[in-house]
Structure formats: C-alpha cells, structure tokens
Amino acid sequence: MRRRDYEGPDDLRLMQDLVQRTWSPRSRLHIGDVAWERSVNFGRRGDTWRTALWEDDGQVVAWGWAELPDHLLLVVDPVRPEAAAEVIAWYRALVPEGACSVLEEETHLVSALEAAGFHPDDEAPFFTHHDMSLSDLRTPVVPDGFTLRHVRPDEVEKRAAGHRAAWSDLAPSKVTDEDFAAVMSTWPYRPELDWIVEAPNGEFAASALIWLDEVHGVGLVEPVGCAPEYRRRGLGQAVNLAALHALRDAGGTDARVCPRGDDGYPSARALYQSIGFKPGARTRLYVA
C-alpha cells in the first residue's frame, strides 16, 4: 500500500470512484457528498485541506481528507480495514488532537478510531441518514405565480444568489458565483437534477440539487434551501418532489438525504419526513 498526496481534479474522481465502488446503504458518504463538499468550498477553504490517497496494485483503497485544524473525513474499503489505521496515523501526525465523524454502522472505521484512542462525543451535533423509495411520489404543487423548473447551465449567478438567500440565517453565506460554477462543473452534476422554484419577480425562491449515482440508482439530495421570505408555503416540499420525479425519470430508484438528527436543528428533517423520507443510521463524532 502506498500513500500519495492529492494532486487535482483527477484525484477527486478517484476518491469518488472509491466511494461508489464500496457504497452500500451503510456508507456515510455518497459520491454527491464528495462532489458538493469539495467543489463548493475549495475556492475559499482549499488551502487548509490536506488530502491523501492510499493505493494498492493501482487501485485506491482509502483516502483521508483533513480539514485543518480539527476534522478528518475518511473512506476506507471495508475489505482493507488495515488501511483505516494508516489514514488515522497520517491525520494524527498533522493534528495531535482532532476529530472524525463516521456513520455508526461503519464498524471498520469505528474500530480503527477507538484503537487509535478516539472516543465518541455524544454531545456533538450529528446527522441522520434519511431514505425513501421513488416508487410512490406525490405531485409537487406551488402557489399561483410561482414556477417549478430545473436550472439551465447559463444560470450560475442566479443559482448562486438563490443558494445564498436560503443559507444566510445564522451568518451571511460566503458561497460565491465562482464556487457555484465549480459545483456545476463537478461530476456527476446534471442541470436536469438541479431544481428551483422561480418567484413571480424572477428570484430563485427555493432549490434542491440531486446527485445521481447511476451504479446504485441512488440520488443524494444536497443541498436544499428556501429563502426566509418564502418559507412555510410548501416551496421546499414542492422543489424536492420535483427533483425526485426528475431523479426517477433519470433512472434512480431511491433517494437519500442527511439532515441534522439532533434537536439543535430540527426544521430540515421535519421537511424531509413530510415528503416521505424515513430516518435510519446516524453519524457520530469521535475525538482524540
């Protein structure tokens, strides 16, 4: 097994290939999580990231993504659990005290973290997987004057503005037009799976982006938002349902979304459960 540092977009695709090759319903990450998190934040935060890939016989068997100063994300092929210890040792050499979030069902990662001296922080916020089959989807409905449609590739600025409007409750969103252009050019983004509700004044009032993993037929919903002045009028529900219909039309059979599961942020999971998503496994933060 050989470690090497991340070198650029070709390696992002190799990281996603490992996620896709090893994916099961018990995986923390979907290819869409990796696409979204890396593309939307790279321009502003990429200089604080350290990323390494572990390869064996020409195949990536693990990767680690350290967001300095204090968070590790890792993916390890479950049939190569010994690679988890290597990723964690690499991270500990960068950061003596750190934290790592995994899905509770990723037992190969939990064991490696515990063996390296990490322990669960049960007070930390967590995320809960929510899943639904696309076999029985309600018809989306929007108020008169509002339009449901997918984004066009030339609408980067409006799409980014709609995202910022929905994600500025706690502090103004820092996502730039360039960040969103990066999202829209990252595999497996497709404009047909990026839905918005257009208000009568032309603003993008609500949005839902889905990333389809064609191998598994599963679409990840990430992110979803509705601008504060348009909330509690059913737009979040409608834009999700419309995107889910498009996902089914594109060949998807199931959808996943991962909202906060703790009571510190209940609105998102309430929205998804109102659509038909059912809660499953949760993440847990391990700290050293």
Ligand X SMILES: CC(C)(COP(=O)(O)OP(=O)(O)OC[C@H]1O[C@@H](n2cnc3c(N)ncnc32)[C@H](O)[C@@H]1OP(=O)(O)O)[C@@H](O)C(=O)NCCC(=O)NCCS
Q: Can you give the binding site for ligand X, defined by CB under 6 A?
A: 166-167, 169, 206, 224-226, 231-237, 259, 267-268, 270-271, 274
- Nearest approach in angstroms of CB 28 to ligand X is 15
What is the C-alpha to C-alpha distance for residues 64 and 140, in angstroms, rounded to an integer? 39
- Nearest approach in angstroms of CB 208 to ligand X is 8
- Nearest approach in angstroms of CB 215 to ligand X is 24
Which C-beta is closer to ligand X: that of 70 or that of 169?
A: 169
Residue nearest to ligand X (CB): 236
What is the C-alpha to C-alpha distance for residues 102 and 121, in angstroms, rounded to an integer? 12
The sign one gets for the Cα dihedral 133, 14, 76, 92 is negative
Which C-beta is closer to ligand X: that of 64 or that of 236?
A: 236
- Nearest approach in angstroms of CB 125 to ligand X is 12
Which C-beta is closer to ligand X: that of 80 or that of 282?
A: 282
- Nearest approach in angstroms of CB 271 to ligand X is 4
Which C-beta is closer to ligand X: that of 30 or that of 87?
A: 30
Which C-beta is closer to ligand X: that of 84 or that of 224?
A: 224
